[in-house]
């Protein structure tokens, strides 16, 4: 590390988190604590059909609250999902949001709460410069967030990802007031996740921690959280995939997901900047796409990150420095069923140029430790396509 390194930075860390098995029972009290009496529970269409969602609504009703349900949310949320959610909030006279689910439900719930009091288009609040200052903070409805997967960590984030269907690009909408006031992390809610979803979401958590650790910038607190998050994933994701009822492994994965989202305020990188356009164009699972790109981006960044990865490997008990760490990632992917190439996700090479063009302007690209040019992005994409 150079003695001339810039050590000036702005830091902000997350919110009140109620963590542990059975904590979902505290949902009514959490709503009351933030002044919500008529919550709108926002989730995705698939989760809305499951017992855990019905049980959450029953908890609220039994406590004398007046909940509503909005579930017109697709796996990669689009602006229409947010707009219709805002309409549901207003027409139902709801005074707050319970964001419930994986990344799509959590992001949409936060965006609904945020946009409920705004008059400008959602794209005016993209995470660019100080665009967030355009918002009316007094119009943001209070949010209680409840993750039902262990991946995105959106429950402790101040942003939501939404796809602009006119350009087929995923955009990050940011405002500090989008941070949930209370988070309930109950690992029992993740027990029903199928093995494939457990694997994909878990690799998303790993990508968040790993890219945050490798990203440009000075943030030793984020680095420390990211390193421990990586260790938790390496030790617990195979156990959670093999035995979905292992509540300790589930809990540790839920912790790692929140840690990744806490750490990546430092930055992300080419794994995400490539995964975002691929997800938009091919509708692939975000976490699984990150998992496929991971070793190829590590190889691309090697010259800039090798000493850092060697320290990470030593902490995680991995021999062989950078090479040993990459081998561990490859072994993990094989054990939990991650395809080795993008072709395994149904991706072809016809839009390689489009992916590269979109990747370099994605907001996550700026954190990559090696500058990401269109040629470099296309090269990584092509290599990941065929291995």
C-alpha 72/C-alpha 81 separation (Å) is 6
Length of the chain: 387
Which pLDDT belongs to residue 272? Answer: 97
Class of domain 16-190: alpha beta
Q: Say if 16-190 and 195-386 have the same CATH topology.
A: no
Which pLDDT belongs to residue 8? Answer: 58
The domains of the chain are located at 16-190, 195-386
Helices (H) and strands (E) in the chain, counts: 13, 8
- Which runs of consecutive H residues, i.e. helices, occur in the chain? 27-33, 45-48, 51-62, 79-91, 103-115, 195-214, 220-242, 247-263, 270-282, 286-315, 321-336, 352-361, 374-386
Q: Which residues contact 179 (CB under 8 A, 6 or more apart)?
A: 14, 15, 143, 156, 157, 158
C-alpha 293/C-alpha 29 separation (Å) is 42
Which pLDDT belongs to residue 169? Answer: 84
CATH superfamily of 195-386: Dehydroquinate synthase-like - alpha domain (1.20.1090.10)
Q: Quick count: other Cβ atoms within 10 Å of Cβ 118?
A: 18
Mean pLDDT by 10 residues, the chain (387 residues): 58 83 96 98 96 98 98 93 98 98 96 97 95 96 97 95 89 95 96 95 98 95 97 98 96 96 95 95 94 98 98 98 98 98 97 97 95 98 95
Beta strands in 90-243 (DSSP E): 96-101, 143-147, 159-164, 169-174, 182-185
Name the strands in the sheet holding 182-185, side by side, starting at the edge strand that comes first in the sequence.
16-19, 182-185, 143-147, 96-101, 39-42, 68-70
């Amino acid at each position: 590390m150079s003695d001339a390194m810039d050590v000036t930075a702005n830091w902000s860390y997350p919110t009140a988190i109620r963590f542990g098995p059975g904590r979902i029972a505290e949902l009514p009290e959490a709503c009351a604590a933030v002044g919500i009496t008529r919550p709108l529970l926002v989730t995705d269409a698939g989760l809305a059909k499951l017992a855990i969602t019905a049980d959450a609504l029953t908890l609220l009703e039994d406590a004398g609250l007046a909940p509503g349900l909005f579930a017109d949310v697709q796996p990669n949320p689009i602006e229409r999902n947010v707009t219709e959610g805002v309409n549901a909030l207003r027409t139902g006279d709801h005074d707050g949001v319970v964001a419930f689910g994986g990344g799509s439900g959590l992001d949409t719930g936060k965006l609904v709460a945020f946009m409920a009091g705004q008059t400008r288009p959602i794209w005016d609040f993209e995470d660019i410069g100080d665009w967030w200052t355009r918002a009316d903070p007094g119009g943001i409805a209070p949010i209680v967030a409840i993750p039902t997967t262990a991946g995105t960590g959106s429950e402790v984030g101040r942003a939501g990802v939404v796809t602009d269907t006119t350009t087929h690009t995923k955009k990050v909408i940011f405002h500090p007031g989008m941070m949930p006031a209370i988070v309930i992390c109950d690992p029992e809610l993740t027990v029903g996740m199928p093995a494939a979803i457990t694997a994909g979401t878990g690799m998303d958590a790993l990508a968040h921690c790993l890219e945050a650790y490798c990203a440009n910038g000075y943030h030793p607190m984020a680095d420390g959280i990211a390193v421990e998050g990586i260790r938790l994933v390496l030790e617990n994701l195979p156990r959670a995939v093999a035995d979905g009822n292992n509540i300790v492994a589930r809990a540790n994965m839920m912790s790692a997901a929140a840690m990744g989202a806490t750490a990546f305020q430092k930055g992300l990188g080419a794994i995400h900047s490539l995964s975002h356009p691929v997800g938009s164009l091919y509708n692939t699972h975000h976490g699984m796409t990150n998992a496929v790109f991971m070793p190829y981006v590590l190889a691309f960044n090697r010259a800039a990150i090798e000493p850092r990865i060697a320290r990470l490997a030593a902490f995680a008990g991995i021999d062989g420095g950078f090479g040993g760490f990459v081998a561990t990632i490859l072994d993990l992917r094989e054990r939990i069923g991650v395809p080795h190439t993008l072709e395994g996700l149904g991706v072809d090479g016809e839009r390689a140029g489009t992916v590269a063009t979109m990747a370099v302007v994605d907001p996550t690209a700026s954190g990559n430790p090696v500058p990401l040019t269109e040629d470099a992005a296309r090269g990584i994409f092509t290599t990941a396509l065929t291995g």
